[in-house]
Amino acid sequence: MSHDRGTSDSDWIVGFHAVLGALTAGRPVETVWLQKGRRDQRLQRLLDAARERGVATRWVPRGRLDELAGESPHNGCAARCGPVQLARLEEVVAAEGRPARLLLVDDVTDPHNLGAVVRTAAGFGVDGVIIAGPSAPPLGGAAARAAAGLLGRVPLVRATVAADALAIGVGALLGRALPEKVVKVGAAVLFFLFGALLIIEGLRAGL
């Protein structure tokens, strides 16, 4: 199972909330593109935020942004972001010395759904989101836009197998490794006894 600290792939994100969120949440941002000839309060906020972070900005024709964004609305802006820093599961289970409130998403393959889940988790103050499954979508692009700028506001953990993540998380709470016989349901019950865990499975489209 893969649950070590790492990074997601770097990616372009588009849309005002996604770009502003990346700039204000401390996510690595390499450059920000703004639509040439457009002047409004939103783009000025992005320009100010980029300058405060020391991020390079570039004014580009709308056609460049249209090409970059594809079918996604870009609101006159885009940003090339560095990789999202991923957390270790053991770190988020009891990061503040108390049982964590975690959200596990398993077999979620649609990036819009994943972004919406992260956005909701950040809004509810969840301590971490475990993204399980071998086909989990990347965290940039559509997922970042759906997260509405909140992608960097909640710790994210990648896991290949959800059941393994549950067992490791419970083991971290108990301070010892669990036997291999621990199954997913049993691990989930222990999580509820020591903390809080919500499991979302199998979302592919239309959240």
CATH number of the domain located at residue range(s) 7-81 in this protein: 3.30.1330.30
Topology of domain 86-201 in CATH is Alpha/beta knot (3.40.1280)
What letter would DSSP give residue 103?
E
pTM over 0.85: no
Query: Which of 206 and 81 is assigned the larger pLDDT?
Result: 81
Mean model confidence pLDDT for the chain: 76
In the chain, what are the domain boundaries? 7-81, 86-201
User: Residue 31 pLDDT > 90, yes or no?
Assistant: yes
> What's the rounded Cα separation, in Å, for the pair 60 and 152?
26
pLDDT > 90 fraction of the chain, expressed in percent and rounded: 22
Query: Which of 25 and 202 is assigned the larger pLDDT?
Result: 25
The predicted structure's pLDDT at residue 44: 95
